[in-house]
Amino acid sequence: MTLNVEASARDYWPSSPALDGQDPSFLAKSMDMETESPSGSRPNSAISVTECPSAPAPAWPGPGPETETETDVSHVDLSDWYPRYLNCVRFFLAASQHTPAVQALAAFLNIRLPGAPVDASTVSARRYIRRLIVTGQDTPANLRLFFGDDWAAGVGCICKQERLNYLFAAKSGGWAATKSAYDILPDEQAPFLRPLREPTEEELRGADSSWSEWLAMEDWMVGPRRPW
């Protein structure tokens, strides 16, 4: 296929020093150009361009060898891991569980440490707070009756957490599932449920924000994918 494009050689290379002073016929021959000079017109050149066959498409790369990702938690060097794991457990049992910092954190997270004695000092206040909340009995007067005059500083944060949890339980599970979550087996079932007692607008807005964060968690929109 041949394309004839009418153009002047100096229009293509206006400032090329290699073209200055050269014989036009030599340039025409070297570039396969046919020179025509009609009277009263500027000499033009026809450039003959030959279409080249297209290069073959590159071969599509095949699948590479599978590589083990860092998120694969099922592959562990057991001979190296197990002794280290035992060392961590020994440290927890012999040392850390007896420190005030670990004991305070365990109480806040409502989990009994293995070395804690089974007596009245290890009873969790949370189960009583939960029952007061779901029955609408978590008034300041009742909390003072249960936990003393310092109840706000001692269990006030737990009350806030459990009121939020009660809102979430009601929103996500319905009445039957919510009551089942607050029953204490074998024979301390919640006698009835009441709507959350006197929630404030600030409390409800905080619940909305926390619920949105949980919905994002369900869709894995956390960390670098967090939408806000």
| Same-domain pairing of 145 and 186 | yes
225 in a domain, yes or no?
A: no
Report helix, strand and coil shares of the chain as percent, to nearest 5: 50, 10, 40
| Same-domain pairing of 107 and 144 | no
224 in a domain, yes or no?
A: no
pLDDT, one tens digit per residue, over 96-136 is 999 999 999 999 999 999 998 877 667 899 999 999 999 99
| Alpha-carbon distances of 154 from 48, 97, 128, rounded to whole Å | 93, 22, 14
| Same-domain pairing of 111 and 135 | no
Mean pLDDT is lowest, of 28-32, 73-77, 79-83, 117-121, for 28-32
169 in a domain, yes or no?
A: yes
| Same-domain pairing of 140 and 117 | no
* pLDDT recorded at residue 74: 82
Concatenated DSSP letters of 165-197: HHHHHHHHHHHHHHHHHH-BTTTB--S---PPS
Which residue, of 124, 154, 187, is where some domain finishes?
124
Which domain does 33 fall in, by range?
Answer: 2-50
If one counts the domains in the chain, the total is 3
Above 90 in pLDDT, residue 205? yes
The residue whose two tokens read 């009742």 is: 142
161 in a domain, yes or no?
A: yes
* pLDDT recorded at residue 70: 59
* pLDDT recorded at residue 86: 98
Q: Which residue has the higher pLDDT, 113 or 70?
A: 113
| Same-domain pairing of 139 and 156 | yes
